[in-house]
Structure 1
Amino acid sequence: MITAELGFQNNREIFAVPGFINYPSFKGCNKLIRELKAKLVLTGKDIADEFLWEKKSKAEAEQSLSSEEKKILSLLDMEKSLDELIMETGLSAGIILAVLANLEIKDFIFEISGGRYKGRWIRENFGVLFLIIIFYINCNCFSDFIQNFSCLL
């Protein structure tokens, strides 16, 4: 509740998943919704719609990519260094650097300090996703999170 109140005071987007009215663990979320301090969320699509995120399928997003771009992008679900990418792809450093530059321009990846690269989605949406996960862990219903919010993953 403290985090939600601070977010509300700083004009941040606050979302809450409603819960059973007779469960103490849902008291805070229900209060935030009742006081109009949080937007009611039932599925991950509600959050995506609020931020006007258009979820494209992986196949749609990757149609415009070259084979090298697809190969490298598939490796960047976890952050990797240039050396790791060279070893895993067998491509030269020059080709990989050119592909990384193209992927960054196309907004598929970002560079982390120290010359490491990672897919962009995780960084941009981590805050919202983190708060949703913490809520579900606190309510002991993480399997519900996977079922209801898989569209954001």
Structure 2
Amino acid sequence: MSLDALTYRIALASVRGMNVDLAQKLFDVIADERTFFEMTEKELRDITGSRSKVYEDSYRHEQLAKARDEAEFVKQKNIRVLYFTQPDYPTRLLEAPDAPILLYISGEADLNATHIVSVVGTRHATPYGQRFTEQLIADLAEAIPGIMVVSGLAYGIDIAAHRACLRHHVPTVAVMAQGLNHIYPAQHRADAVAIVKQGGAIVTDYTSADRLHRGNFLARNRIIAALADCTVVAESAAAGGALVTASLAASYNRDVFALPGRTSDEFSTGCNRLIKSNRAALITSAADLLDAMQWEARSSQPKQMELFADFTELEQSVVNTLRDNPDIHTNELAARLALPVYRVMSTLMDLESRNVVISLPGSRFALA
């Protein structure tokens, strides 16, 4: 694609309120993107019958100038751009009338993969939600080769889902609420790099010049919901972005699943309400999702239980202590083993890299 053509596409995508539905209607009356910016304000108002400010000459010229800078940024950073008329633009996303007409992508993930699941939830994930997310993705990886998982790179369930995908070699897509010139939150920058390196992608519809503000996060949820065949809400309080994503997914005729929890648990309230109101199907395992979606799992031979894992004496002591004391804090674990914290942490990191343990919020660990 020429830089000139890219510039006009970026400029049109930056027009306030532009989406797939509006762009399709616009191209019913004008020839192409360049025409939109070369026509006079009067010509556009006459042909569309609209008095919208986006047709003002000054506004369109401003968007075009910004787009030239963004096109240069895209070329310099080797960012992949998908436009809604291109064959490799996500077909699922085209089904959403409010989908963006252009995506900026870092990474080579196939956004038209055969099976795609969105996993979302609270930023305040509990060990219960963390364990469920880990097991769900581990089992989906085993059952459906090539499955892809979408989430939002946020704290809590989002990052738990991405990290589980990295551990189980599942391509994962992180949809961001800002341009690709920086990662938010910054603490997840290393995860973003790993996602791209392992065949996933970082995706956004925002330019590098767009400012990050609160509304962006709710807006990006439509992409998380529409990119996938179904959405799983692992944990949610009575209100939150995960519930918005679930509502959007339902509006796009996607299946929605929610993990139930105790009525006294704050971060199960939203999930329990989704299930109670029949806005989500109850899910407790990957098998529930596979049955509901009618996805055929890969047949596999039963795995024989490994009686004697290849652990060092210290590793075995850590595993035994975690088995008897789930969700234990690192300091308490070190005290029980009568060892320095740094030695215990080093051992935990080794065990985590082998998928024996998982890290939980608050410097706590549990068996995977």
TM-score category by the smaller chain? 0.3 to 0.5
TM-score, with structure 2 as normaliser: 0.20
Provide the TM-score with structure 1 as the length reference. Answer: 0.44
- Greater gyration radius: 2
